[in-house]
Amino acid sequence: MSSQHRSEAAPMDDPEPLLATEPGPSERGFCAPDPVPEPLTVGIEEELLLIDPAGRTPSPHGPELVEASADALGDRVSTELTRYQVELRTDPHSCLKEADDQIRTSRRTVARAAARLGLRIASTGTPVHGQTVPVPMTPGARYARSTAHFRALDDEQLVCACHVHVGLPDPRDAVHVSNHLRPWLPTLTALTANSPFWAGRDTGYASWRTTTWGRWPVAGPPPYFESPAHFDDLVHTLLEAEGLIDRGGLYWDVRPSHHLPTIEIRVADAALTPDDTLVLGAVVRALTATALAAVRAGEAAPRPSPEILRAACWRAARDGLPGRGIDPLTGQLLPQTSLVERLLHTIAPALRRHDDLDLVREQWRRLRTEGNGADRQRAAHRRGRSADDVVDFVIAATCPQEGDTAPSPDHPLGT
C-alpha cells in the first residue's frame, strides 16, 4: 500500500478488542434489547471469478464450469451475469458449522472442475487485471433485457459480492429490520473490503466494487422506510419509472428478498477465504437478530441523514479497516476498528445465543492482525511487486487445501 493510501490509517495494534470482555449496557451500541427467542437461519451466496492461469485474466467459461460442477453441487452452483463468473449457494442453516462445510465443499468442487478445464477460481470483489469491455454476458432473456435497458452499465459490470440471507418469514419484519441495519452498512463494508485492484493497478480503495456498484439507479444504502406500505409503493414507482426492470434489480445493500422468506444483506465484497465468509455470516445473522429484537420491542430505528450515511459508506470503501470511518449518527471521524468493536458489542448477546461468540472473537483477532481481504491483497503485491503475484495469492486463498489455513502475507498492515 503506498504511503498516500496509509496517511490517515489508524494503527491496528491498539489494546485487546472490546469483544474479549462482556459488554456493559452502555457499550452495546444503538440497540440491545432482549434477543428474539428462536435461532435465525442463514444462507450465503458467493460470486467467484474464473481465471486463466496463463495470463491471470478472467476466463469466459463460467457456463462450462457450472455444467462441470452441477452433478456434485446441483442447484448450489449457477451462472452469473457475465461468463467470467459463477455463483455458489449454501442451503439455509441454523448452525454455521454446516454452512461452513458447504462453503468449503463447494469451493473445492468448483476448483477441481476448473482445474480439469485448465482454469482456476478466485474470490475477489474485482479482477486484479485484464478488464475487457464490454464483458461477455451469460446468455438469457433477463440478462439481454438488462443490457438493452442499462446499456454501458452492464458493459463494465465485472464485480463479485457475497450475499447473506437471514430467515425472516414475515416480510414486514424485513422492512423494519432494514431500517435498523442501515447505520451499520459502512462498518460492514470496511470489515469485508476485498477489491483494491482494477485493471492492473491499485485503485486507492479497499473496496472498488462498492464504488463502482453505486452507479446503478437503485443501489447503495436503502432509504428509510416509513412502513411496509411505503416500501411497496416505492418499489412500484421505481418499476413504473423504469429505474428497475424487475424486483430482482433492487440492488440496495439491504433488501427484503423478492423470492425467499429472508432479508438479504448485499454490502460485502466476495470474501477472500472461507473463514472471511463465515465471520460475515455470523456477524450479519447476529446483527439481524439484534435488529429484529428492537423491532419487536417497538424501538425506533436510528435515522442517519442520507448524505452522512452515503459519505460514511464511501469512506469505508476507500479506507477499509486501517483507516478512520465516519460515524453515521454523529458525522465524527473515528478509528474504523473502534466502529467495528462497537458493532461487535451490540451484537454480542445474539452471537452468544447462536453459539457464534467464540468464532467471532477468534476471527476478529485474526482480522486485526492480518487485515481484511484488501489488506492481504496489497501485502501480496508488496511482497511480490507484481499484479500476477496478487492473482496467485487470491487463487491460493480462495480454496486452501483441506486441513490447511489460507496463505497470509507477512504483516499485511505493517510498513
pLDDT at 53 over 90: yes
Mean pLDDT, the chain, whole residue set: 89
- pLDDT value of residue 32: 41
pLDDT at 101 over 80: yes
pLDDT at 19 over 60: no
Average pLDDT over residues 144-169: 90
Write down the number of H helices and E strands in the chain.
15, 14
What is the tens place of the pLDDT at every residue in 246-273?
A: 999 999 999 999 899 999 999 999 999 9
- pLDDT value of residue 404: 52
- pLDDT value of residue 8: 35
Domains and CATH numbers, the chain: 3-398 (3.30.590.20)
Strand 251-252 and strand 219-220: pairing?
A: parallel
Which amino acid, 114? A
Which segment of 36-40, 121-125, 221-225, 231-235 scores lowest on mean pLDDT? 36-40
pLDDT at 48 over 70: yes
pLDDT at 27 over 50: no
pLDDT at 415 over 80: no
- pLDDT value of residue 161: 98
Higher-pLDDT residue of 400, 363: 363
- pLDDT value of residue 405: 53
If you ran DSSP here, which 8-state letter would residue 35 be given? P
Q: What is 55-120 written as a DSSP string?
A: TTEE-S-HHHHHHHHHHHHGGGEEE-SBTTEEEEEPPPBSSHHHHHHHHHHHHHHHHHHHHHTT-E
Residues 6+ apart with CB under 8 A from 269: 124, 125, 160, 161, 162, 192, 193, 194, 195, 207, 209, 210, 373
Alpha helices in 135-269 (DSSP H): 141-150, 152-155, 171-181, 185-192, 208-213, 228-240
pLDDT at 315 over 80: yes
- pLDDT value of residue 243: 93
